[in-house]
Amino acid sequence: MNIVIPEDLVYATRLTETELLQELAVVLYQKEKLSMGQASKMAKMTQLQFQGLLGSRQINVHYDVPEFTQDLKTLQELGRI
């Protein structure tokens, strides 16, 4: 699906196309409509870069108990803990 944003609206934001995509990605991530992977892809950034963007805005990364449990399991399987 493609979304067309009229040039005058883009111009009114005074943002580049990349900046506008990043803003949309941040908002959708904050509202938990997109995952970290989806939001970083929309923002045309790596997940690490997107996490940095979130951090610079003091936005918490969504990380819940099931994700933590899975990370612990992975670390155990790799012999890291």
Model's pTM, two decimal places? 0.75
pLDDT per position as a tens digit, 24-80:
999 999 999 999 999 999 999 999 999 999 999 999 888 778 878 888 898 999 998
pLDDT per position as a tens digit, 49-60:
999 999 999 998
**Residue/partner pairs of 26-34 with CB below 8 Å, 24 or more apart:** 26/53, 26/54, 26/57, 26/59, 29/54, 29/59, 29/62, 30/59, 32/62
What's the Cα-to-Cα distance from 71 to each of 46, 65, 80, rounded to whole Å?
Answer: 19, 10, 11
15 has a pLDDT exceeding 90: yes
